[in-house]
Structure formats: structure tokens, C-alpha cells
């Protein structure tokens, strides 16, 4: 019974000092908000990046001269690697024909496409490839037909265009059979790709796809290095196919057994792992900065609670003179601290989730709600770190260490007040502030 009465007194005390209680909870909430908000935003960005990195198609990987993702200038480290020429790609394709679907790809960005008086912005991707491109990169044809093997063999002047190019040039007209111009090449439209969306803010529908032999007729073969997309028959066979592809490319390159690979292989998983490592570094830095804000909030809460206990020394004395035990007084202050910490912590977590997702939306990131299917481990890490560092230290120990000596003092010392406090500066016998 005494325990519940103590809890009731604790909540009455918090209610009687609304401003102080609100400031204390605000300090805790701000500290936790910084940690949870930053980690939620990072988790949303990471989820968005992982979704955008699945660009190689199912069960696929890429063989290229340079790494597909590199955070420095690849020419500084890999500039001495030889280009992958068209003859190399054709030979590789022949070696892998029984084990996987191989697509040869070369391209240039920033192209402008013309049709009559209409033209696109100079941001179109002009891709030269073969009959396996659409399947390897998970494209579908919405109208017309895809590129065929015969188109590649005879270097036909045809193309398949993305939805963005179709809408910009032809608007409400049927583009099939029409001729477009790009970098001096006149190409007949034989197909339109189904919309695929964007990846990292770049449209995957703003492209023109033509046979790789026709592409080389336009730009020449000097200084052009291919990328080779390899699609395994199943997800379980990706690793085995990757080993076969490495061996086939080493054979095409004429490498000896002791020579290192002078080419690079990239899978969707390796892309995600590379970006995860970079984002984890950013997350650690953001967490450290947020932890500083959390510590600053904790110091402010500590000062508020120290003042709170000091001002209530006389209250403690009155309660002890009426028979209250040390344990009862400590429990009351502890319950106050726990209540403030819990309310402030919950408010900080909710604000952190909302603020983090709002920041993520501004960055076009995914919305993250912890507690759903597969909650991000970063969010739980942030919550676990924020809870003991913000809710408990500013609340329990800091108030406990100050209230314990007050609860231990004798009632006489706690009730002792100076004549100045009794008289007050205006001569009042009882100072309203005392």
C-alpha cells in the first residue's frame, strides 16, 4: 500500500511542477530524437539503395574492365588493364554458350535524339548490345519486337527505345517504323520498352538500344571496352557460373595460372555489400555526432534534477519528521525519475522515427517503421544505445545520488532555514518562494 502511495505522490509532484517536468522530458526526448532520427534516416536510405542496386537482372553478374562501383578514379588503379574488345566478347560468349546467357553491352550517355522537329534533352543513354540484353537486364517489350541475333549479325540500322524517349518524341503517335537520329546515325524504331522506373535518380527508360555492331559502326571500335552481363540458369548456380566465367575470361585474355585477373566481376550482392560498407561508415559517424547531442541533453537533465532535489530539501525534512523512511523517500524520487525518463524516451523515439522518415522522404528514401517485418538492425542498435544512455543516466542515478544524502539527513537539519529565508527581502515572515 505504501508503495502505491509513493508512486501516487511522485506523479502528484510531477504534476505540481509542470514546467520543470516538461523541460526534463524535453531534454531526454531531444537526446533520443537525434540518435533515432539519424539512424532511421540512414536505414531508409540504405533500403532505397539496396532496391536500386538490383539492376543486373535475376541470377546475373557482370564482367568488365573496371569495377562497376568505385569510390575513386578507376583509371588510377586499373588504367593498365586492356580493353575488352568485341572479338573478346564474342569468344567469351562462345565459351559460355552452354552454361549461361551472355549479353555484350557498350554504351554512351548524354546523347540527344531527334525525330523531325522534335528532340530530347541531351541525357539519353545510347546502348549497343545483342539479343540477350532485354532478358539479362529484366526489360520487357511493350510494343514491337526486341533485337534479334540476325540484327546483330547484319548490323541492321534498327533500335528499341525506352518509354521516356517514346513519350518525348512521338507523344500520341505510334513510333514503330519511324526513323530517329542519334549522333549522325539514322535508326528505324522496331520496339518500345515497358517502363522500368529509375535507379539512384536516373531513369532506366531514357535510352535507345541498338545492335552492338551498328553501335560500333557509328563510333568505331578504338578505345571502346565492352561490359559483359552473364545470367545463370538459376540462383543456386550463380556461384558455379561465376567460376566458369572467370576461367573463360582468363582463357580469352591468355592469362597464365600465376597471373592475377585483369578484369572485374560484379554481382548484385557485391554491389549491395560495397554500398553497405560505405553507409555503415556514414552511420557510425552520424551516431557519434548524435551521441554528443545525447550527452549534452543528459547534462541539461542532470542539472534540472539537481535543482529539483535541492529545492525540495525542506519537503524531505517534513516527511521524515512525520515518520517517512529513507527507502520511501528514495523510492518517490526514483519513481519520478523513471516516469520522466520513460515519457521522454517514448516521445524521443516517436519523434525520431517520424523525423528520420521525413528526412528520408526528402532524399527519396524508403519509409522505415521498426516492428514491421524484418526491422532494420541499425534502428534497434540506435534504440538500445539511446535507452540506457539517455533514459537511465539522466533519471535514476543522477537524481538518486542527490536524493540519497537528503534522505539520510536528520529532520532537524533538513528543516533548518535561515532568518533571511524566513523574513525575505521585503520583511515577510514567510517567503512564498521558500
The three-state DSSP-derived secondary structure of the chain is: CHHHHHHHHHHHHHHHCHHHHHHHHHHHHHHHHHHHHHHHHHHHHHHHHHHHCCCCCCCEEEEECCCCCCCCCHHHHHCCCCCCCHHHHHHHHHHCCCCCEEEEEEEEEEECEEECCEECCCCEEEEEECCCHHHHCCCCEEEECCCCHHHHHCCCCEEEECHHHHHHHHCCCCCCCCEEEECCEEEEEEEEECCCCEECCEECCCEEEEEHHHHHHHHCCCCCCCEEEEECCCHHHHHHHHHHHHHHHHHHHCCCCCCCCCCEEEEHHHHHHHHHHHHHHHHHHHHHHHHHHHHHHHHHHHHHHHHHHHHCHHHHHHHHHCCCCHHHHHHHHHHHHHHHHHHHHHHHHHHHHHHHHHHHHHCCCCCCCCCCCCCCHHHHHHHHHHHHHHHCCCCHHHHHHHHHHHHHCCHHHHHCCCHHHHHCCCCCCCCCCC
**How much is the pLDDT for 429?**
38
Query: What is the model's pLDDT at position 410?
Result: 54
Here the cell at position 233 is 540458369
**pLDDT for res 433:** 46
Cβ-contact 191, 220 below 8 angstroms: no
Strands 158-161 and 185-193 turn out to be parallel
| pLDDT value, residue 367 | 63
Distance of CA 130 to the CA centre of its chain: 35
pLDDT value of residue 15: 77
d(CA 22, CA 15): 10
How many angstroms separate the CA atoms of 236 and 417, rounded? 81
Q: What is the mean pLDDT of each run of 10 residues along the chain (434 residues)?
A: 67 75 80 78 71 64 81 65 91 90 92 93 94 88 94 95 94 92 94 85 88 93 87 86 93 90 83 74 77 74 72 74 77 76 82 77 62 47 48 46 52 47 44 44
pLDDT at position 72 is 59
Amino acid at each position: 500500500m505504501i508503495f502505491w502511495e509513493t508512486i501516487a505522490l511522485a506523479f502528484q509532484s510531477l504534476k505540481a511542477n509542470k514546467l520543470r517536468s516538461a523541460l526534463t522530458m524535453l531534454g531526454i526526448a531531444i537526446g533520443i530524437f537525434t540518435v533515432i532520427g539519424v539512424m532511421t534516416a540512414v536505414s531508409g536510405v540504405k533500403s532505397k539503395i539496396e532496391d536500386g542496386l538490383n539492376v543486373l537482372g535475376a541470377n546475373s553478374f557482370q564482367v568488365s574492365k573496371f569495377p562497376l562501383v568505385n569510390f575513386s578514379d578507376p583509371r588510377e588503379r586499373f588504367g593498365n588493364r586492356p580493353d575488352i574488345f568485341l572479338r573478346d566478347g564474342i569468344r567469351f560468349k562462345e565459351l559460355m554458350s552452354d552454361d549461361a546467357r551472355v549479353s555484350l553491352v557498350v554504351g554512351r550517355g548524354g546523347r540527344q535524339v531527334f525525330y523531325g522537329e522534335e528532340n530530347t534533352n541531351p541525357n539519353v543513354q545510347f546502348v549497343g548490345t545483342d539479343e540477350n540484353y532485354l532478358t539479362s537486364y529484366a526489360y520487357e517489350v511493350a510494343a514491337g519486337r526486341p533485337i534479334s541475333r540476325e540484327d546483330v549479325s547484319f548490323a541492321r540500322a534498327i533500335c528499341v527505345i525506352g518509354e521516356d524517349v517514346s513519350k518525348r518524341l512521338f507523344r500520341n503517335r505510334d513510333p514503330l517504323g519511324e526513323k530517329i537520329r542519334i549522333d549522325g546515325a539514322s535508326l528505324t524504331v522496331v520496339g518500345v520498352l515497358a517502363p522500368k522506373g529509375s535507379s539512384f535518380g536516373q531513369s532506366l527508360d531514357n535510352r535507345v538500344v541498338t545492335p552492338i555492331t551498328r553501335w560500333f559502326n557509328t563510333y568505331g571500335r578504338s578505345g571502346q571496352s565492352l561490359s559483359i552481363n552473364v545470367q545463370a540458369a538459376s540462383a543456386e548456380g550463380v556461384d558455379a557460373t561465376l567460376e566458369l566465367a572467370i576461367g573463360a575470361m582468363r582463357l580469352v585474355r591468355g592469362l597464365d595460372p600465376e597471373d592475377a585477373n585483369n578484369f572485374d566481376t560484379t554481382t548484385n550482392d557485391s554491389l549491395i555489400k560495397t554500398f553497405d560498407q560505405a553507409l555503415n561508415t556514414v552511420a557510425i559517424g552520424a551516431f557519434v555526432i548524435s551521441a554528443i547531442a545525447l550527452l549534452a541533453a543528459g547534462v541539461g537533465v542532470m542539472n534540472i534534477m539537481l535543482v529539483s532535489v535541492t529545492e525540495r530539501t525542506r519537503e524531505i525534512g517534513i516527511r521524515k519528521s512525520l515518520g517517512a523512511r529513507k527507502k520511501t523517500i528514495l523510492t518517490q524520487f526514483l519513481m519520478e525519475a523513471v516516469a520522466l525518463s520513460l515519457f521522454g524516451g517514448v516521445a524521443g523515439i516517436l519523434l525520431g522515427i517520424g523525423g528520420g522518415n521525413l528526412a528520408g522522404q526528402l532524399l527519396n528514401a524508403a519509409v522505415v517503421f521498426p516492428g514491421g517485418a524484418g526491422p532494420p538492425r541499425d534502428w534497434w542498435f540506435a534504440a538500445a544505445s539511446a535507452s540506457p544512455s539517455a533514459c537511465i543516466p539522466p533519471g535514476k542515478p543522477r537524481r538518486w545520488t542527490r536524493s540519497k544524502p537528503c534522505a539520510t539527513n536528520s529532520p532537524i537539519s533538513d528543516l533548518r532555514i535561515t532568518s533571511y529565508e524566513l523574513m525575505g527581502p521585503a520583511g515577510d515572515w514567510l517567503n512564498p518562494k521558500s
